[in-house]
Amino acid sequence: MKKWILFFLAAMLVLAIAGCGQNGDWREDTPAEDDRVVSGEPGQSEETGFVNEPSQVAGDTAGGNTADEAALPASDSADAAVNGDAPAVYMTTDISPEGLMAIYEALGAEPSGKIAVKLSTGENGSNYLRPELIGDLVQELGATIVECNTAYGGQRANTAMHYQVAEDHGYTAIADVDIMDEDGSMTLQVTGGDNLTENYVGAHFANYDYYVVLSHFKGHAMAGYGGAIKNISIGIASSEGKGHIHTGGKGGSMWSADQDSFLESMAEAGKSVTDYLDGNILYINVMNRLSVDCDCDGNPAEPDMHDIGILASLDPVAVDQACIDLVYGAEDGQSLVDRIESRNGLHTLEQAEKIGLGSREYQLVSIDE
């Protein structure tokens, strides 16, 4: 009898040990919205509840312009993400012209016709994307750099001054530049929005067949952060359209508008742009000079965190969410996290997913060797 009991206990012990290596239901207690595949060390913000889980696409690598403490996932094959249900977000830590070209090529896109590269020309003194970084890609595409005038004054408030800033920042030396609302606005219809029914973009918007949305990811004094969604909403909106978005379609002073309505309206305006383009658009976010302030600020706060890399996707929500998760997972990202949360910036992503602009779930695929 004693031998039988000992045998039974030994068998149970073997089964228990074997079970320790299985994933089982380790995610059961994680909120459904946190089923994203993200990078970085496991960690959680008490205010947001977002969890950074180890990537499922492969092991860790580090390099490029990223600090040693930011280990990033790599993938044996881009097919790991492409074949999944969630959209792929490709990443490199190589913030260079070669890295930018490689991340573009990883998307496998085939732009045709007249191509626009949408970026922020930036105020003088800001952290705008330098032409020496982006020039090779822009010229390879044979693209025109496009922008719209601001609605807040500054050096880019009218077309003549704006062209001068574009020249001062070196953009006219690498490509033609088009201030798309030079001749006013055109109207895009917004479907499924809670605030907007129309979006007003630069009148030249329809002159282009394909858009490469090249964004400097950073903080923002009003939106909390700026990335792909902001670049296709506020960025493509005419000066008139910017005020319309800021006030949630209600008019009046854009400085006193309801914050959440503004954030929601950015997502809704962005959706009108993607609906119009019907897939003829891609998104690249450059995560360098990560200040809490945007490129619209001529005297931004100096970055107090390391550069991270370049991310790209065919989904604007996925690429912005991936950047957010990398910031939340960074040991030195607290200043930017505080800026995002103080403006309720994550609400833009919530609204964007709700109205079908894109997915907050994604698979992160490193293209670094």
Q: For 31-70, what is each residue's pLDDT tens digit?
A: 233 333 443 332 333 332 322 332 322 223 222 233 333 3
Other Cβ atoms less than 10 A from the Cβ of 251: the count is: 10
Q: 3-class SS at 191?
A: coil
In the chain, what are the domain boundaries?
43-366
Nearest to 65 by CA among 217, 325, 219, 288: 288
Q: Does the predicted model carry a pTM greater than 0.85?
A: no
pLDDT of residue 185: 98
Q: For 192-238, what is each residue's pLDDT tens digit?
A: 999 999 999 999 999 999 999 999 999 999 999 999 999 999 999 99
pLDDT tens for the chain, 369 residues long, are 444 444 444 444 433 333 333 332 222 222 233 333 443 332 333 332 322 332 322 223 222 233 333 334 333 333 334 456 899 999 999 999 999 999 999 999 999 999 999 999 998 888 899 999 999 999 999 999 999 999 987 889 899 999 999 999 999 999 999 999 999 999 999 999 999 999 999 999 999 999 999 999 999 999 999 999 999 999 999 999 999 999 999 999 988 889 999 999 999 999 999 999 999 999 999 999 999 987 777 778 889 999 999 999 999 999 999 999 999 999 999 999 999 999 999 999 999 999 999 999 999 999 997
DSSP alpha helix (H) spans, 253-307 = 259-277
pLDDT of residue 46: 31
Phi, then psi, of 305 in degrees rounded to 5 = -135, 165
Q: Which amino acid, 291?
A: S
The domain made up of 43-366 has a fold known as Rossmann fold (3.40.50)
Which residues are within 8 A (CB) of 188 and not within 5 positions of it... i.e. 6 or more apart? 198, 199, 200, 201, 205, 272, 273, 275, 276
Give dist(CA 98, CA 111) in Å, integer: 19
Which residues, in sequence order, are bridge partners of residue 285? 215, 311
Q: For 133-152, what is each residue's pLDDT tens digit?
A: 999 999 999 999 999 999 98
Which residues are within 8 A (CB) of 326 and not within 5 positions of it... i.e. 6 or more apart? 38, 39, 40, 70, 287, 308, 309, 311
Give dist(CA 357, CA 221) in Å, integer: 23
